[in-house]
Structure 1
Amino acid sequence: MSESRLKILSGNSNRALAEAICRSIGEPLGEATVTSFPDGESFVKINENIRGNDVYIVQATCPPTNHHLMELLIMIDAARRASAKRITAVLPFYGYARQDRKDQPRVPITAKLVANLLVAAGAQRILTMDLHSQQIQGFFDIPVDHLYASPVFFEYLAEQPRERPLVVCSPDIGGMKMAAAYADTMGATLGMVAKKRKSASSVEAMSIVGEVEGCDVLLVDDMTETAGTLTAAAKILRDHGAVTVRAAVSHCILNDIAVERLKAGLIDEVITTDSTPVQTHGLPIRVLSVASLLGEAILRITNNKSVTDLFKIKGF
């Protein structure tokens, strides 16, 4: 192609990932000004011609969530008004995903509201990864390409020596399907920690389903913010004789509470991705890049090819 019809733009939430995506597919990152007025209003200006282009806007809705979501909506609107041929919102991490149902009286379904806002702004396609629940895809009336970080995790885990039996464990009931997929792929046994949530930042591990004594345990989850679920699960696993406990978490949005909990050393290693910016704080956190995965998906979407091959796993 003498001139690429593909344009990748980035907001401020995870520019490093957007740049890595561009490097992986050999495309330059589009020039756009994304800043704020003194009163906090977001301002966007796309500094190059995108008329008739296939535009991808990379923006994780991680903290500050509302600000980054608003940036994304304004960027989509700017691209639509600049006559982009097709606009794909690339959300490596989809914020508000936990608010996907009415579990209490008089509460919103914010995950659906965010979906409506993205479509109303002008998004014509969504590319995302490891949604909190897969049903969120149904909140959109536009195509959604839902990728998984698991192939990236598996490739890393395949390189790690295994000295003891491995148990893949879900830290709650909701993650059993994911844990079962990991256990099946890795030839491991399956376990689960039953928990009771006390508050948004505090949980109590109640009991274990499965045998972990003398085993290495891999906890798998889609995201962690306060690390309450992970550390409570790790504690009860160690109390039941687990030799090592590691955690594979797609989205690591660690706050100060999480850092203090992880410093206790109950988890030997946290394996995560760069779907959101991750500060390791000197903790045993391994950050794996999903840039090549997202970059290949972007190329396949642009060229109207299947993304199914991206779910294939290397090393197992």
Structure 2
Amino acid sequence: MTDEATKREVKTLYVAEAEDGIRLDRWFRRRWPHLSNIQVQKMARSGQIRVDGARIKPEGRLTAGAAVRVPPIPDPVVRAPGEHQALSPADVAFARSLVLYEDDLVIALNKPWGLAVQGGTKTTRHVDRLLSAWGEGMERPRLVHRLDRDTSGVLLLGKGPEAAKRLAGAFARRQAKKTYWALVIGLPKPTAGQIDLALKKTGINDYEIMRPADTKENGAEPAETAYALISHAGQRASWLALRPFTGRTHQLRAHMKAIGHPILGDPKYGDETSAELSGPLKLQLHARRIELDHPSGGKLIVEAPISPEMRAGFQHFGFDEGEAEADPFAGVRRMR
């Protein structure tokens, strides 16, 4: 591509009022759902993306009216017909076995523990690759949000760019009501409340961790989580419902650690006491329920049955799924 052609494709777009405070990477993913996080990060870190003439980090937040320099956006990868057969028949069957709900615009998967949502240097089997089970090009579903590798539960996909844009927009505007189940050490007091504690990412690559930070600290991001006790095993462990009002990396894990009740089976945010209580248990965190507007109108509510890893925790502590309300946060609002 010539320099002249590149210049012609550079655009300046303005941040809408309703988008005030949105992260740069999410702003890009809302408009171009086919972009990967890695692509957005590369464009930002190389200076191809600028806001009001200045460089910005992928996690930087935009203000209403800001001018965003948008470099040429790569087209979606369109593979040759039948190329999705690079997936083995077993992989195709596995991908389709995860479906909780599917219609013309939406797919909801029950993502298992240990399966990454997107690939990386050492990750070749992940949800994004498995989406080829539905076809390529316009037939290929699009990711609209993420779950940690070791978090199981509901993962939504959009069929087609318009559906993906609307779903991603609902997450970006924090209109999606997400309910997680978690088993934590101890018994929180009070047994229900809200955590308003900014978080900051430290470390690099696999050693990245979110820690509490002052809101004025450079790189700190506001983070809010509501929690409610569902049941408890004496003072040893509790089954909590968690609702993140913001979407920071590892937010629930970092917030529970911060209040002294780390999630069981968490090698990154746990401590010696929780590790001893966890024993062989894997991360006890499950995306149980999502409620949001369906792209075609009406409400979409999807629930995911717990994973075998989470069931092991329930059995160990004697919890019964029937004890939980459908939405333990009905009427709960953000603190600010």
Q: What TM-score comes out, normalization by structure 2 length?
A: 0.31
Q: What TM-score comes out, normalization by structure 1 length?
A: 0.33
Q: Which of the pair is proportionally richer in helix?
A: 1
